[in-house]
Chain A
Amino acid sequence: MQPSVSIRNLKLDFGAIQVLKDLNLDIGKGEFLVLLGSSGCGKSTLLNCIAGLLEPTDGSIFINGDNVTWAEPSERGIGMVFQSYALYPQMTVKGNLSFGLKNARVPKDEIERRVARAADILQIGPLLGRKPAALSGGQRQRVAIGRALVRDVEVFLFDEPLSNLDAKLRAELRVELKRLHNNLGNTMIYVTHDQVEAMTLADRIAIMKGGLVMQLGSPAEIYGRPAKKYVADFIGSPSMNFLPGKLRAGPVVDVAGQSIPLDAYDFTRKGLEGDVWFGIRPEHVATGEAAAACPVSYELKAELVKPMGAETLVWSSIEGTPFRFRMDGHAQVAAGDILRVGFDPVRASLFDTVEELRV
């Protein structure tokens, strides 16, 4: 099937700074793609290129098979929602929704129809007569989404639309966005640096760093089989523990004085030997009875205990390398306690130390 949006060898420089470097990406029809990455990695820049708000230095962008690299934003069949809402403050909600359409000389009754539909979908009907200043943050963002909705376009672009909202509202709108996507079936490209948002919303996540896509995959893949140490480190909070190890034939990895058999580990690259990073997520570390049952276990001293309610985070170290793990919220631990921790190497991720790619 033809991709909805496809990006070919996209490059963008701001003067001497290369922000996007030879970026390739295909987004399928109706897909919800999340661009995730740390601040300054070029997410907004990429989104603006797709929208046509920035001119790429090189490369091309296709939307629905048309080369739109040099097309005006309004002619690309996209709608966009911004972090700061970017509503027109002197117009009513209705004015905000219809201004672009009026300008495009859409017939009056058609405008009415589209505005009514958007208002219905987003439940902003009662707000149509108000000015943005008289709306709450969540309502404003709904209006901003409505403004993209009335354009009747194929592709929606979101640039951190929820990051100005408080946690509760963010969770609510997240659900609504997901529902909206299910109902409309549009292609959506969504920029965020909130992992939870990315995990819950995305069909696929593109992890970006330094103007390149590090990994593109489903949330489960990104989380479970990170392709690079950077991705593994970036996803998850607290982030993955990395212990230095030595990979030998067997396959076996020596970590902190123990030889861990990797018979069940799903290798990406077979037959590699030498120095590796052995990565294991804090939430995949078991303690107490369960630890004893694990193929690998260690005795550790808790250095710092951080109760979080549902769970408790414990900071510790293995042979000088920091090691974090999660315990149940009911666990009775204090700093200085000696604990037994264990994990199953099946859930681990191994990376070589040179290119830091998944082994």
Chain B
Amino acid sequence: MPDIASRRSLVKNLNAKIAAIPMMLTATVVFVGCTLWTVVYSFTNSRLLPGGDWVGLAQYERLWGTRRWLISVENLAIYGFLMLVFSLVIGFLLAAIIDQRIRFEDAFRTIFLYPYALSFIVTGLVWQWLLNPEFGIQAAVRSMGFETFAFDPLYNSDLVLYGVIVAGLWHGTGLVMCLMLAGLRGIDEDVWKASRVDGIPAWKTYIFIVIPMMRPVFVTTLVLITASIIKLYDLVIAQTGGGPGLSSEVPAKFVFDAMFVSQNLAQGFAASTMMLVAVIFVIIPWAYLEFGGKKRG
């Protein structure tokens, strides 16, 4: 009897289970499998092709002794922090302004969202031109008569990262704004009315009532922004190529160059494993807060 029962449960929804097999295989083999494979081979001295000898942590020692990697990590930290803060703040402010039922709302929303429809490559090129001293903003201002005006952030090691951040913000804030706007629109109008009757100023209502209510939207937005931060690559390629010098290098570019330019797979694997570790360090406390807390409460 138990035998039949177990067979039944296996056969139950058999079609659905068969249909799910490719997806499950993709998820386990491609995702988990490749991740593990990458981590394992980061402990070898693989060059152009995977293989080589076991070298323990040597790749990691070299990685953390490499100036370019350290610069990349620092850049990503700065970019990530500013990107998160500013895209959330600007995106939210824009959404809050548009939420006042201003006229031409659709037009504004389209304008702000439009950059997101462009690839990072195009965004990078556009901003490279804008910030290029020969034919960008500097040239335009100079042609208006301010001959000594100087504005070439992309050619200044100290400023280049901010040039990239501006392009990143231009590209990404529109989406954040739309998500936030959807969140704001999801807030019951009566809550706004109640807070007005209570005499709470609008900014306080946003901070103490509306934003806490938008927590799910913020979480989604945060995940999207974080993903785009970590995979930052094409924007830098198009806008600065990592320069001047190494001053706008980022980890994803390090990985790519190590694997395909320097033909040192293991070094690239070590770098991407470090990126994975960083992601895990971000995700675990968040997941704990998000899902762990509920069971207790």
Q: Which residue of B lies closest to A74 (CB)?
A: B199
* CB closest residue in chain B, given A131: B297
User: Residues of A contacting B200 with CB < 8 Å?
Assistant: 99-100, 103
Please pick, from A51, A53, A75, A90, the residue contacting B209 in the complex, using a CB distance under 8 A: A90
* Cα(A80)–Cα(B191), bound, Å: 11
* C-alpha spacing A103/B198, complex, angstroms: 8
What residues of chain B lie closer than 8 Å to A99, measured between beta carbons? 198, 200, 208
A80 lies within 8 A of B197 (CB): yes
In the complex, chain B residues 153-196 whose Cβ is within 8 Å of any chain A Cβ: 188, 190-191, 193-196
Tell me if A310 counts as interface (CB < 8 A to partner B): no
Interface segment among A81-89, A108-116, A237-245, A299-307: the answer is: A81-89
**B204 interfacial contact with A, CB 8 Å:** yes
17 contacts between A and B (CB under 8 A): A51-B193, A73-B196, A74-B196, A74-B198, A80-B194, A80-B197, A84-B190, A86-B188, A86-B191, A87-B194, A88-B194, A88-B195, A88-B209, A89-B213, A90-B213, A100-B195, A103-B201
Residue A72 interfacial (CB < 8 Å): yes
Task: List residues 236-292 of chain A with CB under 8 A from any CB of chain B.
Answer: none
Instruction: Indicate if A147 sits at the interface (CB-CB under 8 A).
Output: yes
* Distance from B215 Cβ to chain A, minimum over Cβ atoms (Å): 8
Are A86 and B190 CB-contacts (below 8 A) given A99-B198, A103-B198? Answer: yes
CB contacts between A and B, total, < 8 Å: 69
Known: A99-B200, A100-B198. A82 touches B208 (CB 8 A): no
Complex CA distance for A147 and B191, rounded to whole angstroms: 12
Contacts of A83 in B (CB 8 A): 190
Tell yes or no: A36 within 8 A of B by CB: no
B212 at interface by CB-CB < 8 Å: yes
- Known pairs A90-B212, A100-B200. 12 more at Cβ < 8 A? A51-B193, A72-B196, A73-B197, A74-B198, A78-B197, A80-B197, A86-B194, A88-B191, A99-B200, A100-B197, A144-B194, A147-B194
Taking each of B193, B198, B201, B204, which has the highest tally of chain A beta carbons within 10 Å of its own beta carbon?
Answer: B198
A79 to B191, CA, bound (A): 14
Q: Do the beta carbons of A80 and B209 come within 8 Å of each other?
A: no
Residues of B within 8 A of A78 (CB): 197
A83, B199: Cα distance in complex, Å: 20
Interface residues of A (CB under 8 A from B): 48, 51-53, 72-75, 78-80, 82-91, 99-100, 103-104, 144, 147-148, 151
Interface of B is mostly: helix
Contact: A86 with B193, CB < 8 Å?
yes
Docked CA distance A256–B135 (Å): 93
Complex CA–CA separation, A51 to B198 (angstroms): 11
B199–A75 touching, CB < 8 Å: yes
Tell whether, in the assembled complex, residue A79 and residue B193 are in contact, meaning their CB atoms are under 8 Å apart. Answer: no
Check if A73 sits within 8 Å of B208, measured CB to CB: no
Q: Are B197 and A79 in contact (CB under 8 A)?
A: yes
Of the residues A51, A53, A103, A144, contact of B199 by C-beta under 8 Å: A103
CA separation between A100 and B209, bound complex, in Å?
12
A147: chain B residues within 8 A (beta carbon): 194, 198
Whether B193 pairs with A82 at a CB distance below 8 angstroms is yes
Q: Is the CB of B193 within 8 A of A53?
A: yes
User: A82 touching B194 by the CB < 8 A rule?
Assistant: yes
CA distance A79 to B197 in the complex (A): 7
| Residue pair A53, B191 in contact (C-beta under 8 Å) | no
Top-5 shortest CB links A-B: A74-B199, A100-B198, A86-B190, A90-B212, A82-B190
Contacts of A79 in B (CB 8 A): 197
CA A313 to CA B199, docked complex, whole Å: 51
Chain B residues lying within 8 Å of A48, measured Cβ to Cβ, are 193
CB distance from A107 to the nearest CB of B (A): 16
Nearest chain B CB to A88 CB, angstrom units: 5
Question: Whole-angstrom distance from the CB of B16 to the nearest CB of chain A?
Answer: 34
